[in-house]
Each structure stands twice: as C-alpha cells, then as structure tokens.
Amino acid sequence: MLPTDDVLLAIREPLTTSLRRGTPLVWASGDGRERRALLGWGERFRVTARGPERFAALSAAFREHVAATRADGGPAPLAFVTVTFSPDSATDSVLVVPDVVGRWHSGQLELPAAGVPEPSEPAEFEELDFRAGSLTREQYRRAVARAVGLIADGEVEKIVLARDLEAVATHPIDLPAVLARLQYANPESWTFHVDGMFGSSPELLAAVHGRSVYSRVLAGSAPVTGRPDADAAAASDLMGSGKDHAEHAYAARSVADRLASVAEVRAGEPEVLRLPTIMHLSTEVTGTLTQDLSALDVAALVHPSAAVCGTPTERARDLIAELEGLDRGRYAGPVGWVDAEGNGQFAIALRSGQLAADGCSVRLFAGGGIVDGSIPNEELAETAQKFLPMYQALSPVARP
C-alpha cells in the first residue's frame, strides 16, 4: 500500500508523462488498473552515510527530520532510500525527502502541492554499447568454480556471486523512458529510481504497514522462453530441483529467522513466480511486529539475506569481496521508501543499474546463488538471463 495525502491537485495523464516531469524519485508496481506509482520531486532533506552504521545513521536522521517538521507544523515527510550492499562500499547510502510527493493511479497524478516540472520531450533514442565490467565472463566462471570448491571444503554453504556490465552512450540516457519501459514490462516487480540507482526488482525485502510485516523471498531460477510447453516443463523441473530448493531454503530461512526476532512470523510454501524473462522459486513471509520498528529498521535487520549474500552470512560476505573483486555499490542493497509513521516498502536492488554522474553510462549488475552442484557455465547463463530486463529497457526497440 502506498501512502496517502490530502489531494490539492489532480492531473489526468499516463504514467509515462508523469515520469517525464523532471525525472522523479520513483516507486512503481502493478499492471492495468492496479498499476500505482509513488513519485517525488526536488529535495527538502538529504542525508548520506557509509560503513556498518549506515542504516542506523539514515534512520536516526530521518526521525530527527520528522520531529522537526512536526514541531514546525509542516506536512508529514516521506523519504526515498537506497543503501549499499556492503558496509565497506565506497558508495554513499542515501535518504532523500522530496519537496513534493505525488501518487499516480488509474491514469491520474495526484499531488499534495503544485510546483512539479512540466513534462519533457522524449529524446532520440541512441543504441548503447555494452562492455565487460570488472569481471569478464571467463573470470566469472573461474570465481564460480572456486566458490563450488570452497563449498565442498565446508567453508560456506551458499555464496552469491555477481558480475557487472557497462552500458555506454554518447549522450545522456533518457532515464524517464527507461523507467517507463521497466515498469510496463515488469508489472510483478517494483520499479525504482533513487539518486541514479534504478531498476525493476522482483524481490521485496521488507514491507511494513502498521504492525504488519511482509517479505517475498526469491531464490532458484529458470529461464522463461515464451513457449508454453517449454515454460511449463521448466516450472515443473524447478519445483522438483533439489539444488534450487536447497538454494531457496537458505534464502527463505535467513529472512524468516531474522524477522522472528522482532515479529510473530509465518512462512508459506515455495511456489513458482513467473516473470517475463525468468521464473523463480518464491516464498512469502508474513508476520506481526512485536517491536516499534520502521520499514527501514526492518530492512536493516533482514539485510543481507541469503538470496543476495549466502550462508553463513559473515563468511559468505567475506568471500564475495574476495571472489568478485568489485564494489557492488547499491546493487543488492535495500531500496524503497519510508514515511513518518514508519510504514514503507523496500525491495532488494536487483535487475538494476547505477547511472553515472554525467548520465551517459549505466553500470549493470546480475548474480546467482552458488551451492553444491552449481556448474559455472550454467551460472553464467543465469546472470545473462537476469541482465535481460535492463538490457531490453535500454534497447531502442523497447516500448512501454
């Protein structure tokens, strides 16, 4: 559920037009009449943080801002947040309270205040060059092979390894167009944009509304071809795969166990979630909080789950840094929003990329969970499948 405000202005327009109003902060999901978007323009308040206490620093700064705003009689603030995967990252974690927050639903943009930019014209789309990032394909295969050996030696049970690509243009990328394409092509996911970090993630790390808490855990995957018979067979194989169920169990248990320390928790049974280019094993974890925590606090508690790190967590995180040899930045970290009451939603920043400061390139990431029995070539193919949503959104043939 997205937050509500007293509506002072309502504009009938498609979401593609709203996204062109100054490239807003974005949180969007759904399809048809259920499509909704939370949008933010300008910056009323901004705070950055690094290191192990980055979550606590952002949360404390936002609470202070909320208290000061209430003391001044101002409207209850809402913040958009993107946090790095690792406490050792050289990238800032960022919390932004926009000047104006709008809600888009059923063809109408509702605003608590005027002053939103006029829509811009679409730019002429340029074909991007895709280049190898910090890890070549062969280096990634070798990293997977080393991880499998470490698992066999009992060093770790599961480790998630990622690789990156660079998408490069000669002119600034038309980000509003890319965001529109991502949202329309991936209605089962959460499309986001905060401080140049953008994507469309199918995995909801933590959602809080009042005392209710929810998480959708994904791990274990198979490609979607668009051929009904082949996809049905792949879904059946995925449900019957011991390797994929083992990988998924680590991820679901890591979330449920951590939530159980602050909530009465119920975990469902794994099901197949089919997305446009890939399918995953999915488990829903629900519960009732027993402590007064915000959505950002809960995200801090659950991150990093085994779905993006591994098991056991600390050892897996150390091995990720060693085997990948790259700074993930905000990839695989929590991204979402939180309001003054603590309600909010945070996805894991997957199927995503970080826009460069000049707007002319995007660093893309994709990863996979390595467990006993993982095969390097198959894991490489899985990362290629996971690059597809961003690749297609950046393609000149894509349309919202």
* Phi, psi dihedrals of residue 315, rounded to the nearest 5°: -65, -40
How far is it, in rounded angstroms, from Cα 253 to Cα 207? 17
| CA distances from residue 10 to 6, 78, 366 in whole angstroms, order as listed | 11, 20, 39
Question: Is 203 one of the catalytic residues?
Answer: yes
C-alpha closest to that of 305 among 313, 314, 297, 296: 313
> Of 124, 166, 203, 269, which is the active-site residue?
203
Cβ atoms of 74 and 23 within 8 Å: the answer is no
Cβ atoms of 195 and 345 within 8 Å: the answer is no
- Pair type for strands 271-274 and 108-111: unpaired
* Phi, psi dihedrals of residue 190, rounded to the nearest 5°: -110, 115
Question: Is 158 one of the catalytic residues?
Answer: yes
> Of 53, 157, 158, 378, which is the active-site residue?
158
Active site members: 158, 203
